Amino acid sequence: MKHFVLLLLVIGLIIGLAVATYADNVTIQRGAYGSVRDAGLRSDGAPDGNIGTTSGAGAGRLYPDAGAPGDKGPRHVIIAFDLSLIPTNAVINSATYGVYLTEYNGGTTITDYKLSRVQNGKAWNEGSGAYPVASTGDVTWNSQQHGVAAWATAGATGGADIDLGTSQTWGIAAFSGTGFRTFNVASWVQDWVSGAQQNNGMLMWGGIGTGSGNYYWAAMSEEATVANRPYLTIDYTVPPPVIPEPSSLLALLTGASGLGLIWRRRRA
């Protein structure tokens, strides 16, 4: 009898745990929590160079695709956050990507910037900062992996490189000085966590500039001030497992009772 009672207690505990919902809120930021990889993509000067481990303004310059200052050319930033610590069955309630922007030379109005999700099959490596020619396998303006696989379009802006249909368009006309710009990326994170989409990160690109010599740069994950590094804040809930139907539990209890009876008879 005592074994049967113990079984009832165990099943009750299992049911109690099953109805519990687990929730959490995490911020992934290099140097604070989790893993981040990012790199600058430079069209001018060294389109085959890697800018993956460089800190400071040079690494994350966002020269617009149209109206770049002086003799400069477009520059993009690619970034990905490691989401392996989040359960694959998590429901993403919210996800905010934050990037710290600084204006150079003041007063720049840049419109039509884009933030896009990188497509499946477009895996890339942050790289070791080999410049002006990248090490094999590292990301550059021309290649998702130098010497291994080129982007479909240089700068990673083709439809085969990024999901143009879900791209977010933004500008800095009303942006003043220095600070964080944030983006709602909940649907992308949901797909990455569930496995519906490969987590190859995001690309910042595009832009139409109006000020000669003016541009913005994005703080990279190697930025000296940890608080200014790019971050991804995720609020998520893990739903409880499916509770068996009452009839299934009854069958389990009945079977356990029968086994207990047989066990006692054998001991006798």
Are 232 and 215 found together in one domain? Answer: yes
Report which residue type is found at 187: S
Are 170 and 247 found together in one domain? Answer: no
Are 46 and 140 found together in one domain? Answer: yes
Q: Which residues of the chain have pLDDT under 50?
A: 5, 8, 17, 174, 249, 256-268
Are 221 and 268 found together in one domain? Answer: no
Q: 47-83: per-residue pLDDT in tens? A: 999 999 876 656 888 888 988 877 789 999 999 999 9
pTM (2 d.p.):
0.83
Are 72 and 6 found together in one domain? Answer: no
pLDDT at 182 (0 to 100): 95
The tally of domains found in the chain comes to 2
Are 112 and 224 found together in one domain? Answer: yes
Are 37 and 119 found together in one domain? Answer: yes
Are 247 and 177 found together in one domain? Answer: no
Are 152 and 233 found together in one domain? Answer: yes
| Spatial separation of the C-alpha atoms in residues 180 and 163, rounded to whole Å | 24
Are 112 and 51 found together in one domain? Answer: yes
pLDDT at 258 (0 to 100): 44
Domain that holds residue 12: 1-20+242-268
pLDDT at 213 (0 to 100): 63
pLDDT at 56 (0 to 100): 62
Which one, of 181, 194, 172, lies nearest residue 92 by Cα? Answer: 194
Determine contact, residues 50/128, Cβ cutoff 8 Å.
yes
- What lies within 8 Å, CB to CB, of 30 at 6+ separation is 36, 221, 222, 226, 229
Average pLDDT taken over every residue of the chain: 83
Are 143 and 178 found together in one domain? Answer: yes
